[in-house]
């Protein structure tokens, strides 16, 4: 039995670690790109000034030991309540995967990009970027967030010019910006906060304008964690009824009577996946249209020091956050002309900037992605898009549904591409739980699958120069 996990970010490396063992009857192969292997984009393409959005004491990748990360760093009480650099978390993920590899007999780490998957009998053939391929009985898609799409409104000449930065963390793109440059950032969420932190670290003095549909900045965590609360009957009733409006009203009322509104939002966390799964397609669309922007900024908060930085930049006038939409941006002699419409207004304004930066955050829309493997699987009909453009359709056992809505046996998905199925599946606590659930599912069927005749119909020879 061979299980191949494609994607070596947090979800993929955590699942591989859970499946690693001394049992050689099940091979586990983790496939991922070299540059961010084990860490993924979130913790691999980051800078020293970028800090975690969750307190260190709760970030263990082991679902049964949330304190593992803090223990790995030998943190005291104060350190466990703090927000540490994301680079440190990336090193932690590398270390725990390597330790799993050292103690296991069944784990192979393959640092290559998988570009295609084909059905092979009742199993699969996995194709790699160097032209080689191998057979696998089961495949898990752990692709993480997809590459940012092309930003609508960016003119073709600007799109190819250094004045437009489509991915801020590639090739030190922010390092080319003059300290006095006027910068337009598209997006006001967590990615924008990272961009602002990086510009501030480089002593940027020019004006920064950030725009989004609602012009909302992420809220901040408190310096010290607040006390947990019990949800009142009004909230539980709304959760049981799967009523978005009633739930919003109940939480709004609760936030006025608890010491800190954050405790009310955090108390919802164990219930959000079940609530989401019980919503009709119409209610999900309603939530995304009317509630999503507000939910994101109160649920996914920044560290206190990042919140203070953003507030300081706003108070000084250097950072201006606006509810507006970019209609068009084109290259000019020394920068870009941006056609912008303020929210609620009909008149458009042309504004001049030295640089335009895309910071629109997490993307899991497989219909519009340029990701090679996701595009191939979609075109081959092996995966289908969630109706809201949030990811991949799956069964309750996380098996992928094809273009006809039929499950594909032994093709699974884990990670942010499950947003359409679970909604809350982008932070460590939910990701590690999903990885554990899937690992148990894979292990429970290993014993019967290894004696299945179909295993004998698969290619057993790995066409790789290095071999397994």
| Residue 456 clears pLDDT 70, i.e. is over it | no
User: For residue 468, what is the DSSP state?
Assistant: -
| Residue 445 clears pLDDT 80, i.e. is over it | no
State residue 418 phi and psi, 5-degree precision: -90, 10
Burial of 259 (0-12, 13-18, 19+ CB in 10 A): exposed
Give the count of beta carbons closer than 10 Å to the beta carbon of residue 146: 21
**Residues 418 and 440: beta-carbon distance below 8 Å:** no
Close Cβ partners of 200 (under 8 Å, ≥ 6 residues apart): 49, 309, 313
- Least-confidence region, from 255-259, 433-437, 446-450: 446-450
Q: Give the chain's mean pLDDT.
A: 92
The sign of the dihedral angle between the CA atoms of 438, 441, 447, 453 is negative
3-state secondary structure of 427: coil
**Strand 138-141 versus strand 164-165 pairing type:** unpaired
**Strand 133-136 versus strand 123-128 pairing type:** antiparallel
Distance between CA atoms of residues 57 and 394, nearest Å: 32
pLDDT tier, 278 (very low <50, low <70, confident <90, very high otherwise): very high
Radius of gyration of the chain (CA): 23
pLDDT tier, 172 (very low <50, low <70, confident <90, very high otherwise): confident
3-state secondary structure of 216: coil
Q: What is the pLDDT of residue 446?
A: 62
- Which stretches does DSSP call E strand in 99-213? 107-110, 114-120, 123-128, 133-136, 138-141, 164-165, 183-186, 208-212
What pLDDT, in 10s, does the model give residues 222-242?
A: 999 989 999 999 999 999 999
Spell out the alpha helix ranges (H) of 121-271.
156-159, 190-201, 233-241, 244-255, 261-268
Distance between CA atoms of residues 272 and 291, nearest Å: 14
Q: Does domain 156-220+301-358 have CATH number 3.50.50.60?
A: yes
Measured torsion, CA atoms of residues 67, 71, 76, 81, in degrees rounded to the nearest 10? -30
**Residues 262 and 229: beta-carbon distance below 8 Å:** no
What pLDDT, in 10s, does the model give residues 84-100?
A: 999 999 999 999 999 99
Domain ranges for the chain, please list them.
2-50+85-147+363-457, 156-220+301-358, 233-299
| Residue 382 clears pLDDT 70, i.e. is over it | yes
| Residue 437 clears pLDDT 50, i.e. is over it | yes
Spell out the alpha helix ranges (H) of 35-152.
40-44, 68-72, 77-80, 86-103
Distance between CA atoms of residues 440 and 422, nearest Å: 18
| Residue 175 clears pLDDT 70, i.e. is over it | yes
Instruction: Tell me the mean pLDDT in the region 248-266.
Output: 94
Instruction: In the chain, count H helices and then E strands.
Output: 18, 16
Distance between CA atoms of residues 152 and 145, nearest Å: 19
Q: Does 2-50+85-147+363-457 match 156-220+301-358 in CATH topology?
A: yes
**Residues 58 and 432: beta-carbon distance below 8 Å:** no
User: For residue 418, what is the DSSP state?
Assistant: G
Q: Kindly state the tokens that stand for 136.
A: 């696998």
∠ Cα 248 396 8 (to 5°): 95
State residue 260 phi and psi, 5-degree precision: -145, 130
Superfamily of domain 2-50+85-147+363-457 in CATH is: FAD/NAD(P)-binding domain (3.50.50.60)
- Least-confidence region, from 121-130, 165-174, 332-341: 165-174
DSSP string computed for 388-403 = TSSSB-B-TT-EEE-T
Q: Kindly state the tokens that stand for 185.
A: 């950032």
Angle between helices 244-255 and 281-290 (to 10 degrees): 40
**Strand 107-110 versus strand 27-31 pairing type:** parallel
pTM: 0.92
pLDDT tier, 462 (very low <50, low <70, confident <90, very high otherwise): very low
Distance between CA atoms of residues 418 and 430, nearest Å: 11
- Least-confidence region, from 111-115, 166-170, 409-413: 166-170
Distance between CA atoms of residues 257 and 253, nearest Å: 7
H/E stretch holding 332: strand 319-332
Distance between CA atoms of residues 146 and 417, nearest Å: 9
User: For residue 417, what is the DSSP state?
Assistant: G
């Amino acid at each position: 039995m061979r299980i191949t996990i494609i994607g070596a970010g947090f979800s993929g490396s955590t699942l591989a670690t859970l499946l690693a063992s001394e049992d050689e009857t099940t091979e586990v192969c983790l496939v991922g790109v070299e540059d961010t292997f084990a860490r993924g984009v979130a913790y691999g393409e980051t800078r020293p000034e970028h800090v975690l959005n969750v307190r260190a004491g709760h970030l263990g990748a082991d679902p049964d030991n949330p304190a593992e990360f803090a223990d790995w760093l030998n943190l005291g009480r104060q350190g466990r309540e703090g927000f540490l650099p994301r680079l440190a978390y990336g090193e932690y993920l590398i270390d725990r995967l390597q330790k799993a590899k050292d103690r296991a007999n069944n784990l192979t780490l393959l640092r290559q990009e998988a570009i295609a998957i084909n059905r092979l009998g009742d199993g699969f053939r996995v194709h790699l970027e160097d032209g080689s391929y191998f057979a696998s009985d089961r495949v898990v898609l752990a692709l993480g967030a997809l590459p940012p799409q092309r930003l609508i409104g960016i003119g073709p000449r600007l799109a190819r010019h250094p004045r437009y930065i489509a991915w801020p963390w590639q090739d030190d793109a922010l390092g080319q910006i003059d300290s006095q440059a006027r910068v337009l950032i598209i997006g006001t969420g967590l990615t924008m906060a990272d961009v602002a932190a990086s510009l501030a670290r480089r002593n940027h003095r020019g004006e920064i304008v950030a725009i989004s549909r609602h012009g909302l900045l992420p809220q901040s965590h408190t310096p010290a964690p607040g006390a947990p609360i019990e949800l009142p009957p009004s909230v539980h009733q709304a959760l049981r009824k799967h009523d978005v409006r009633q739930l919003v009203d109940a939480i709004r009322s609760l936030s006025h009577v608890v010491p800190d509104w954050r405790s009310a939002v955090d108390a919802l966390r164990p219930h959000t996946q079940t609530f989401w799964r019980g919503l009709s397609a119409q209610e999900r669309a309603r939530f995304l249209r009317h509630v999503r922007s507000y939910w994101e900024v109160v649920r996914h908060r920044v560290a206190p020091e990042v919140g203070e930085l953003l507030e300081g930049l706003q108070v000084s006038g250097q950072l201006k956050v606006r509810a507006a939409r970019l209609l068009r941006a084109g290259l000019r002699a020394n920068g870009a002309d941006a056609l912008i419409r303020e929210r609620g207004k009909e008149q458009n304004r042309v504004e001049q900037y030295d640089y335009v930066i895309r910071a629109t955050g997490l993307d899991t829309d497989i219909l519009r992605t340029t990701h090679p493997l996701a595009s191939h699987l979609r075109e081959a009909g092996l995966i289908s898009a969630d109706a809201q453009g949030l990811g991949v359709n799956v069964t309750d056992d996380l098996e992928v549904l094809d273009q006809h809505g039929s499950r594909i046996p032994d093709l699974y998905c884990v990670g942010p591409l499950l947003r359409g199925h679970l909604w809350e599946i982008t932070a460590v606590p939910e990701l590690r739980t999903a990885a554990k659930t899937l690992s148990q599912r894979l292990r429970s069927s290993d014993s019967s699958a290894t004696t299945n005749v179909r295993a004998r119909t698969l290619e057993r020879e790995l066409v790789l120069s290095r071999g397994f």
